[in-house]
Amino acid sequence: MMAPSPSPWLQGFRPVSAPRHTLVCFPYAGAGAAVFREWASDVGPDTELLAVCLPGRESRIGEPPLRRAEDVVSAILTALQPLGDRPLILFGHSLGAALAYATARALVARGCPPALLAVSGRRAPHLPSRRAPSHALDDGAFRTRLVALGGTPPEVLACDELMELMLPMLRADFVMSDGFHEDGPSPLPVPILAFAGVEDNEATVEEVSAWEQVAGAAFALCTLPGGHFFLHEKRSLIVSQVRMAHFLWSKVQNYTF
């Protein structure tokens, strides 16, 4: 049964009567909330899962896509307000990791830091991109880039009508991803759990491990087999690692000496 969504920005997939925690999942470029649908069965009975749905896809396909991370974060903060002081766990993959991190920063600035930030398949925010920005590519070169990444189904790439519909949203997401960078960020007072694919050429293990330089509370790195979209094959393992990290670090934070 589909859970009622508190906002068009947040999609729930399983109703939880009295959740103790909320896991907020941020999708990668070009994806919608549905990529996290199956995660709802893995998070446990006391955890609510809410997946971020950006404009320009799924139920919001008629809305113009956004190109700036700060616009997304502002809307997400508003969408999260009805949750009150329930502990938040933020997870994001690729572009989603950058958005989850920016949301964590904004929550810290408001005095309500998340309990855990989990980032996946994304270089640390202070590291520059190793590739040329995608906004300068023509449609053919942009499609080639999508093929190399491997996240877009071949049948979609082969359909000119679908690609014509999706290209504005995809390009907006890549502009947002390419433009996200922080020079010398201060330590974030939130535990960070990072996931890296050992065959991921988009975000190498070394680039993902550099998130430790941003972590001001605790840090752990989990390497998994696979390329850039390892999160699909390793969903259950990733969810279990997130749950374990949240449990262990919350015990440490609440321990009285």
**Catalytic residue positions, numbered:** 94
Give the separation between CA 74 and CA 37, rounded to whole angstroms: 24
Residues 186, 109: contact at Cβ < 8 Å?
no
**Helix 69-80 / helix 95-109 crossing angle, nearest 10 deg:** 60
How many angstroms separate the CA atoms of 220 and 31, rounded?
26
Nearest-CA neighbor of 73 among 54, 60, 48, 58? 54
Q: In terms of C-beta distances under 8 Å and separation of at least 24 residues, what long-range contacts does 135-140 make, across chains too?
A: 135/171, 135/174, 135/175, 135/178, 139/163, 139/167
